[in-house]
Chain A
Amino acid sequence: MAETFAPPRRIDWVGISFAVVLTLVIIFPLIVVGTWAFTNVWRYPAIIPQEFGLRFWSQTLARPDVWSAITTSISLACVVTLLSAIICLPAAFAFARLEFPGRSLLFFSFLAGQAFPKFGLLVAIAGIFLGLNLIGTFWGVVLIQLVGTLLFMIWIPVAAFQGVDRRMEEAARDVGASPLRVFWSITLPQAGPTIAAAVLLTFVNTFYETEGAWLIGAPGIRTMPVLMISFINNQPVIQYGAVLSVILWIPSFFALLFARRVISGGSFARGFGA
């Protein structure tokens, strides 16, 4: 009888519309692209493909330009992330902890590159690179992508280093650790998970970066996203683009897995522990 008096269950229209919109915007395109990648024949007006298969995978993976793009993209992302870490992490530590003249000016100049329309900046840099013979070279693309990583690799680690409790560091000095040892055994593990997130973001962003890679890299250097764009522009067959696109999901997938590990349990921090 109690049910008679219970208020009628409200339908959560807001929640439902959010779910629907999110599904349409994110999941639906993924499903469509994923389906296309494993389709041999799909003609209008069928709702599902007439024939599934891996034909286009074998065709795509048989192409030498695809393989060279995969290697280029991976080595670019690795080199850029590594260089960015080597340059930015010490700089971030300096910004977070040291007082030096021109500190704020320098700090904001790092971020200025992100504040203006990027394409104009890229064109200007391309002009300079032309003079330096860097157009169409691997290291030219490395340089341009490096500039793009500064925001994440400075701003986030600065916050991470500033967030480390100074008393913890002093306590380590107190029991006999040198400043270098304190950095290695206390500061870095404490800031570690946040910095790992920044490195991850940098890797994934670099992997997907197209504007710089295309403007500076063409025609000599072709990354996966650039190749995909040219496939989509030049090929009447959708499947090539779809297959490449699915391949491009792989780094995101690993990034997500890794991020989950870092966030849950803090096992990453302990890995650094003394």
Chain B
Amino acid sequence: MAVLDIKGISKHFGAGVLAVDNLELTVGDGELVCLLGPSGSGKSTLLRMVGGFETPSGGSITIDGEEVIHLPPERRPTGMVFQSHALWTHMNVYKNIAFGLKLRRRPADEIKRRVDAVMELVGLAGYGERQTHQLSGGQQQRVALARSLVLEPKILLLDEPFASLDQHLRERLREEVRDIQQRLGITTLFVTHGQDEALSMADRIVVLRDGKVEQVAAPDVLYREPATPFVAGFIGTMNLIEGTVSNGTFSRAGFSSPLPVGDGPVTFAVRPEALVIAPAAGAGAAKIHRVTDYGTHAIVDLELPDGLRLKSMVPEARHWTTGQAVDLAPRAFSAYRDNALIYRSNAAR
């Protein structure tokens, strides 16, 4: 059982940069939590503070209730996998994995048994004598993972471990790592800036922005109920329409929709699959700018009279042509004001 508890943690770099800003996060036993956010949002900095490679400017980090903030990396029960895998090129695969156990002065037969077991686990059986440069990128990343796992850390930390791999390999390793993580029940904090990766792997996702938590939620909740326009725009594709509400109706250029909130400016959010289009009799609300056929579905790019672009997902491309006038009907939508959710239509729940 290992629980990671981060309380009020901050990190300043010099005077100007506040990389992590008074952040709270709890990762439960055996849980995999993804840190997701744009470049520079403080994901790596947070992870490195947990691993002991950056000293926080303030706050506390406990693992199973024990404060670790004053411990150097070598005395923390954490294992880190780096994006650049950082294998020791002067040692072969076996020695890379065995190094940590040797430092702990385990008996030779135990080292051999544990290294062999973990190599089997990550699919590297028989690769022990290889030099690190004789491995593919995916295999190198497996060695890096094995190097951490063999020490049975309480918390596993991964900083964009698949970022340098090609799409196909990334998807495969993603599944494997998730399998291993669940089999071992190891508490894991995973940094990524790919939303696919976060949505497919995580128990919960933490969306970071400028060093602050924007939202913490399970992947499906995050997709269906983004708490802020930033999350709405960051996860999946979302049409964000700035407009105004008066007398219970939202409007922007040719587009309007009933919206039972008080008068004033509002950000109207609707996913492409929830924005239904129909051929218009007259001028319509929007014009079709482009139709892109993806086979399973098609994406219709729309243009409002004031130039704002929207996307709608339709089952088939062939009913639609560029320049055609259409009417818009949002089936499910939500609305934000002052960076907070103020309305969600029934269907969006």
Residues of A within 8 A of B (CB): 165, 167-168, 170-178, 181, 185-186, 189-190, 192, 266, 269-270, 272-274
- Tell whether A173 pairs with B73 under 8 Å between CB atoms, given A167-B82, A168-B88, A272-B90: yes
A273 touches B95 (CB 8 A): yes
Min CB gap B273→A, angstroms: 41
Please tell me which one of the listed residues B86, B90, B103 contacts residue A170 in the complex, with CB atoms under 8 A apart.
B86
B100 within 8 A of A: yes
Between-chain CB contacts (< 8 Å), 13 pairs: A168-B87, A168-B89, A171-B87, A173-B74, A174-B74, A174-B148, A175-B100, A176-B74, A176-B103, A186-B88, A192-B90, A266-B90, A274-B102
In the bound complex, residues from chain B placing their C-beta under 8 Å from that of A274 are 91, 95, 99, 102
Min CB gap A263→B, angstroms: 15
- Alpha-carbon gap, A174 to B148, bound state (A): 8
A273 touches B91 (CB 8 A): yes
B215 within 8 A of A: no
Min CB gap B241→A, angstroms: 44
- Alpha-carbon gap, A192 to B88, bound state (A): 13
B73 touches A174 (CB 8 A): yes
Min CB gap B96→A, angstroms: 9
**Contact digits for B98-129, partner A, Cβ 8 Å, 1 yes 0 no:** 01101110000000000000000000000000
A175 touches B151 (CB 8 A): yes
Min CB gap B31→A, angstroms: 21
- Alpha-carbon gap, A272 to B95, bound state (A): 13
B74 touches A270 (CB 8 A): no
B72 within 8 A of A: yes
- Tell whether A171 pairs with B74 under 8 Å between CB atoms, given A186-B88, A190-B89: no
In the bound complex, residues from chain B placing their C-beta under 8 Å from that of A186 are 88
Q: Which residue among A167, A172, A173, A175 has the maximum number of chain B CB atoms within 10 Å of its CB?
A: A175
- Tell whether A177 pairs with B89 under 8 Å between CB atoms, given A171-B80, A172-B99, A273-B95: no
Closest to A193 in B: B90
- Alpha-carbon gap, A177 to B52, bound state (A): 13
In the bound complex, residues from chain A placing their C-beta under 8 Å from that of B75 are 176
In the bound complex, residues from chain A placing their C-beta under 8 Å from that of B74 are 173-178
In the bound complex, residues from chain B placing their C-beta under 8 Å from that of A269 are 90
Other 14 A-B pairs with CB < 8 A, given A170-B73, A173-B52: A165-B86, A170-B80, A171-B87, A171-B144, A172-B99, A174-B73, A174-B78, A174-B79, A175-B79, A176-B100, A181-B103, A185-B99, A270-B90, A274-B99
